[in-house]
Amino acid sequence: MKTVGTAVGAPPRPGLRERKKQRTRDALVRAALELIAARGYEGTTVDDITAAVEVSQRTFFRYFASKEEVAFFVTRLAESHVVDAARGRPPGEAPLEVLRRAVLDSWDTINEAVEQLVPLDLHLRVYRVIESTPALLAAHLRRASELEEELARIIAEREGLDMDADPRPRILVAAFGGVIRVAERRWSTGDDVSVAAMKEVMTTCLDHVGPALAGNWRAG
């Protein structure tokens, strides 16, 4: 009984108000990312962003809890895709394989979803700013640790374990997460920033974990 004149089952087309909100939110995100990519994070004030979109500062903070949050808007999208992919893995699959496939397979849909919002190139430039800005890097790592907690929950549930009694889900995910971050960094600072390259870097990094943990590796 919310709207009239729309077919049952069809997604009720949002009203004017909702669409307006969506538009200003998107405009804020785009302006923010553009400015951050160009002038850096600290070099961009919230007033700069709101001036570009012609809204008040107060409005900005009604959409985003902090200046940080807008910088991670796209990243957030990617994270939710990974979680969904992990949830969708077939039962019985080995835990590490679940994580591996969740990350690798979700990349295509991630890029597609990102493009809807901002150019992929812009996102990459912002990502590099995140990696090189202490305050943002800290926030990024905290977000990553929250994502790991979520993934650990999924693994624990799949395996029928109590996360607080058995440390293995968190351990696996923590080790995995550490490796992913190394791979992310190698990819974003490398020459080839294509999706294929990203997958390749991830794969080789993951393949190195076992051997790296096992004993002496003089035989490079």
Query: Which two structure tokens, joined as six digits, stand for 97?
Result: 């394989």
Least distance to a copy of itself from the beta carbon of 197, Å? 14
Could you say which of DNA, a copy of itself, none residue 7 binds, taking C-beta under 5 to 8 angstroms by partner kind?
none
Nearer Cβ to a copy of itself (122/180): 180
How big is the site for a copy of itself, counted in residues (CB under 8 A)?
45
**Using CB under 8 A as the criterion, what x/- string covers residues 60-99 for binding a copy of itself?**
----------------------------------xxx---
**Closest CA relative to residue 53, chosen from 21, 26, 71, 28:** 28
Count of Cβ atoms closer than 10 Å to residue 198 Cβ: 21
Distance CA 206, CA 182 (A): 10
How far is the C-alpha of 47 from the C-alpha of 56, rounded, in Å?
A: 8
Q: What is the DSSP letter of 160?
A: T
Near DNA in 7-46, by CB under 7 A: 15-18, 20-21, 24, 44-46
Q: Contact at 8 Å (CB) between 106 and 81? A: yes
Please report how close the Cβ of residue 15 comes to a copy of itself at its closest, in angstroms: 34
**Contact of 103 with 180, CB cutoff 8 Å:** yes
What is the dihedral sign for C-alpha 124, 205, 107, 64? Answer: negative
Residues in 61-90 that interact with DNA by CB under 7 A: 61-63, 65-68
Taking the complex as a whole, the smallest distance from the CB of residue 130 to a copy of itself amounts, in Å, to: 12
Q: Which of these segments, 15-23, 33-41, 75-83, 205-213, binds a copy of itself (CB under 8 A)?
A: 205-213
Rounded Cα distance between 128 and 38, Å, is 11
Nearest to 121 by CA among 45, 22, 188: 188
Residues that bind DNA (CB under 7 A): 2-3, 15-18, 20-21, 24, 44-47, 54-59, 61-63, 65-68
Residues that bind a copy of itself (CB under 8 A): 94-96, 134, 137-139, 141-142, 144-145, 148, 159, 161, 166-168, 170-179, 181-183, 186, 204-205, 208-218, 220
